[in-house]
Amino acid sequence: MSHLFTLYPWQQQTWQLLQQSRARQSLAHAFILSGVHGVGLFEFSQQVSAWLLCHQPSEQGACGACKSCQLWLAQSHPDYRLLEQITDEKTGKTSQVIKVDQVRQLVEFLNKSAQLNGYRVAIIHRAENLNVNAANSLLKTLEEAGANTVIMLITEQPLMLLPTIRSRCQQLSLAVPEKAQAQAWLQTQLKTSIDTELLLALSEGAPLAALALQDAPWFLARKALAQNMLDVMQKKHSALQISQQWHKQLKPEDVLNAIQLVLADVLLVKLNQNHAIKNSDLLPIISAIANISSITQILAQQQQCLNAYHLIAANIQTALLLDNLWLSFANKR
């Protein structure tokens, strides 16, 4: 089998649905493909695209050998378009929205006939970022897409799409797999042995997100960071020193993310819900923090983390924000 086609085990059911629709010649022209982060929405859309474009498609997907598949593999298929937020090459900044001009170009492409006599496929990645004008420009095309045209909007937040868009598309979703299936798959993919239950707990059960954790700096720093939270609360270390040290090591979002996860678990321990904590390997540290914190303090710190998140997203002085957060751990009594 060509490397062109690898479906993840938990995507099979959704794949079967598309298979059956195509076999019955009742494939919709417009889809919304949704699911949580880490189930492989984009990867799935790519497999579907190659399979639609392929000249000898089978139940396994694209053949990997025909002219269409060769063009696909060379990333130069003339009947495929990917629409997503544009990243400025000079500044490296990514646009917050998908703009109306981009949609107009897509509509133009979809109004022409296919160059290879097969399907024309358009993928709109992170479709929740279509701005209102862009979304409105798409409506007519979603409704009247020509024969052999498939438009697939991918999103982790389907409710952010305009109702007028949603009502014109068939809904497809990729669900998070059963824990046993996710664990079995992870076992075959991990570079080293890491507790798969822990990885999945920290990833809302989404296997690809769980797999990515093995290389995530914040995941590797979790224990040291939790220990530092305890140290600062016990006044064994200076809050500012610890803050600056982490500021050098991790991105501010990652520090916040790790702290928030620890605080959520501290709260659970405080509420006698030890079995429900996510960082099960850190229970001793988390219990120690719970012992010297009140529920009110934990809630206040969580709120401070949330506020810091929003401010960091708005590019407010991150070092200062994190200093304040660490100081609050030291001064909580």
Q: Which residues bind Zn ion (CB under 5 A)?
A: 54, 62-63, 66, 69
Helix, strand, coil share of the chain (percent; to 5): 55, 10, 35
- Comparing CB distances to Zn ion, the nearer of 56 and 105 is 56
- Comparing CB distances to Zn ion, the nearer of 114 and 124 is 114
Q: Smallest gap, in angstroms, from Cβ of residue 65 to Zn ion?
A: 6
| Closest residue by Cα to residue 154 from 130, 125, 117 | 125
- Comparing CB distances to Zn ion, the nearer of 118 and 309 is 118
- Comparing CB distances to Zn ion, the nearer of 55 and 104 is 55
Q: Smallest gap, in angstroms, from Cβ of residue 57 to Zn ion?
A: 7
- Comparing CB distances to Zn ion, the nearer of 4 and 256 is 4
Q: For tokens 């270390």, name the residue.
A: 237
Q: Smallest gap, in angstroms, from Cβ of residue 22 to Zn ion?
A: 15
Element (H, E) at 172: strand 170-173
- Comparing CB distances to Zn ion, the nearer of 62 and 308 is 62
Question: How far is residue 76's CA from residue 287's CA, in Å, rounded to a whole number?
Answer: 55
Question: How far is residue 264's CA from residue 278's CA, in Å, rounded to a whole number?
Answer: 9
Amino acid at 223: K
Q: How many CA atoms lie within 13 A of 237 on its CB side?
A: 16
Element (H, E) at 270: helix 252-270
| Closest residue by Cα to residue 265 from 275, 255, 256 | 275
Q: Smallest gap, in angstroms, from Cβ of residue 2 to Zn ion?
A: 9
Q: Smallest gap, in angstroms, from Cβ of residue 282 to Zn ion?
A: 49
Q: Smallest gap, in angstroms, from Cβ of residue 9 to Zn ion?
A: 23
With a CB cutoff of 8 Å and minimum separation 6, the contacts of 175 are 10, 13, 35, 39
| Closest residue by Cα to residue 318 from 260, 229, 243 | 243
Which is it for the CA torsion 196, 198, 201, 206, positive or negative? negative
Q: Is residue 62 within 8 Å of residue 69, measured between CB atoms? A: yes
Q: Smallest gap, in angstroms, from Cβ of residue 125 to Zn ion?
A: 23
Q: Is residue 48 within 8 Å of residue 216, measured between CB atoms? A: no
- Comparing CB distances to Zn ion, the nearer of 62 and 208 is 62
Q: Smallest gap, in angstroms, from Cβ of residue 72 to Zn ion?
A: 8
Whole-angstrom distance between the N-terminal and C-terminal Cα of the chain?
A: 63
- Comparing CB distances to Zn ion, the nearer of 48 and 312 is 48
